[in-house]
Amino acid sequence: MNGKSLLTGLASVLLIAPGGSRAVAAEATLLATGLEGGAGSAIGPGGALYVTEGAAGRISRVDPQTGDVTTYATGLPPMIPAVGIGGAMDVAFIGRTAYALVTLVGFDVGGSDVVGIYRMDGPDSFSVIADIGEFALQNPPSAPFDVPTGVQYALEAYRGGFLVTDGHHNRVLRVTLDGEVTEMIAFDNTVPTGLAVSGNTIYMAEAGPVPHPPEEGRVVSFRPGSHSASLVASGASLLVDVEFGRGRLLYALSQGPGVPGAPAGAPAQPNTGALVLVNRNRTFTVVTDGLDRPTSLEFIGNTAYVVTLTGEVWRIDGVSGPPYGASR
């Protein structure tokens, strides 16, 4: 990660909202429901929202206006019920081709499938383009771990390939379309989750270690070749995603406080999640709270779309640009 100043020059003013803001409420409305284990998401062909359903082994298309849900692709390895999370965790597009990140389906958790990136070749066919599980076995992290193949969380298209966060092995991987996997950067026990990219700068959400105190929920940034992180903002519990909205304002998704005594990897307390705006003084402004265990965030114009672990998609209108983050 880049140990230098996070952002310099005029461009920095356009990326992050001013500090000193107070919370401005924005109402969330239910757009879609009934997804089986909602996890990652992406804006794809036709400007629609595409959501992975880990329990069902499929990717669904959600109409951002009507909420109609149709199956886009199926046949991916589903979540192992005894594990409780995993399967298809995230989706990203390069052109019109969808790629799915599949995790926690390997031998080390009682499965028999490849942990890695799957290219969707048709509505019910795929090809494994990168075996991330095998890379993890051959290149274990320096920090302690329980799952040898890791727990990959987010997939982000990047320079003709992908970035992948591993929240268990505490690192970001770079993956090419021909299957080469390398470690881009490693962290202490920060639990990396969601990703966003702006130019040469990579923004990343960190859930922080159990029990996920707010001060450990951070957004950080780094560039290729960096060895340390630059703090962007902190103070929101169990951050799971980060995205740019209209006006290049940066937002993050907090799942909320952890459940006391819950094991590592357990979701937050119900109905404690929030969409937050990143302020220039390294704090967050709450835009919408009361979200139930959100997992993924996307923007279309000035509308935010939030996917939840409970299989719902919520729409939040008018969250980008003034007055959010404006000094009062």
Phi, psi values for residue 320, rounded to 5°: -100, 145
For residue 24, the model assigns a pLDDT of 52
Within 10 angstroms of residue 220's Cβ, the number of other Cβ atoms is: 23
Please state, in angstroms and rounded to a whole number, the distance separating the CA atoms of residues 82 and 85.
Answer: 9
Q: Which residues does 111 contact at the CB level (< 8 Å), separation at least 6?
A: 77, 80, 104, 105
For residue 214, the model assigns a pLDDT of 93
CA distance to 24, 40, 103, 219, per residue, from 286 (Å): 7, 22, 31, 15
Digits of tens for pLDDT over the chain (328 positions)? 323 222 222 233 334 555 544 445 689 999 999 999 889 999 999 999 999 999 999 999 999 999 999 999 999 999 999 999 999 999 999 999 999 999 999 999 999 999 999 999 999 999 999 999 999 999 999 989 999 999 999 999 999 999 999 999 999 999 999 999 999 999 999 999 999 999 999 999 999 998 889 999 999 999 999 999 999 999 999 999 999 998 889 999 999 998 888 888 889 999 999 999 999 999 999 999 999 999 999 999 999 999 999 999 999 998 855 443 443 3
For residue 309, the model assigns a pLDDT of 96
Closest to 104 measured CA to CA, from 91, 95, 113: 113
Can you list the domains of the chain with their CATH numbers? Answer: 10-317 (2.120.10.30)
Compute the C-alpha angle 318/240/103, nearest 5°: 130
For residue 319, the model assigns a pLDDT of 83
CB 205 within 8 A of CB 192: yes
Please state, in angstroms and rounded to a whole number, the distance separating the CA atoms of residues 194 and 170.
Answer: 12
DSSP state, 226? -
CB 149 within 8 A of CB 115: yes
Q: Which residues pair with 165 in a beta bridge?
A: 172
Please report which helix (H) or strand (E) contains residue 277, including its range: strand 273-278
Which residue's entry shows tokens 């052109």? 95
pTM, two decimal places:
0.91
For the residues of 159-209, what is the DSSP string, one character each? TTEEEEEETTTTEEEEE-TT--EEEEEE-SS--EEEEEEETTEEEEEE--S
Q: What is the 3-state secondary structure (H, E, C) of 54-111?
A: CCCCEEEEECCCCCCEEEEEECCCCCCCCCCCCEEEEEEEECCEEEEEEECCCHHHCC
Please state, in angstroms and rounded to a whole number, the distance separating the CA atoms of residues 83 and 104.
Answer: 8
For residue 262, the model assigns a pLDDT of 83
CB neighbour class for 204 (10 Å; exposed up to 12, middle 13-18, buried from 19): buried
Residue 259: half-sphere exposure toward Cβ, Cα within 13 Å: 11
Please state, in angstroms and rounded to a whole number, the distance separating the CA atoms of residues 293 and 33.
Answer: 14
Q: Residue 45 in 3-state DSSP? A: helix
Within 10 angstroms of residue 148's Cβ, the number of other Cβ atoms is: 16
Q: Which residues pair with 127 in a beta bridge?
A: 119
Please state, in angstroms and rounded to a whole number, the distance separating the CA atoms of residues 76 and 66.
Answer: 26
